[in-house]
Amino acid sequence: MKQLSFSKPLLRGVLFPGVALAVLGLAPVAWGGLQSQTVFCQKNADGSGLCYGNFVGFREDATSTSSASFREDLMTGTRSFDSWSTPPGGTSPVVYTCIPNAAVSALWEQALSNRGFFRVSWDASGTCDYLRLVNSSQNTNF
């Protein structure tokens, strides 16, 4: 009766790579923590448009001029959103801006303290007419 035996070269050459590949597959499970970095702005010929994303996305964007701001000037009382971002395939940044209407302005305090995902859109007159804020684990890296 022949006995089954593994030689050291067999262990080194075969089992270790197999185990290593399995561990490689396990590694992402241990990392966890889904994070998203999103940057998107778009506008139409009449000037209406939208922006969405999160601040970490704008800050870490490949284009160093990208930014997004919700602002309030306490002296003049001006509330506004503005963003700089370079469209896909473009070479220079484009500016997007809007002033909130009464309904959106009522939510502005939350926008000023937002640390997650946002989406804002505006009409041809430059009035921000929609605001969405999302507070979620994948957007918390302010």
Interface contacts to other proteins, rule CB under 8 A = 2, 4-5, 10, 13-15, 17-26, 28-29, 34, 36, 38, 40, 43, 45-50, 52, 65, 69, 71, 73, 75-78, 80, 82, 84, 94-99, 101-104, 106-107, 119, 121-122, 124-127, 129-132, 134, 136, 138
Burial tier of 121 (Cβ tally within 10 Å: 0-12, 13-18, 19+):
buried
Classify the C-alpha dihedral 122-70-37-96 as positive or negative.
Answer: positive
C-alpha–C-alpha distance, residues 138 and 127, integer Å: 29
Q: Select 6 or 62, whichever has its Cβ closest to other proteins.
A: 6
Q: Select 50 or 141, whichever has its Cβ closest to other proteins.
A: 50
Q: How far is the CB of 59 from other proteins (least distance, A)?
A: 16
Q: Select 58 or 122, whichever has its Cβ closest to other proteins.
A: 122
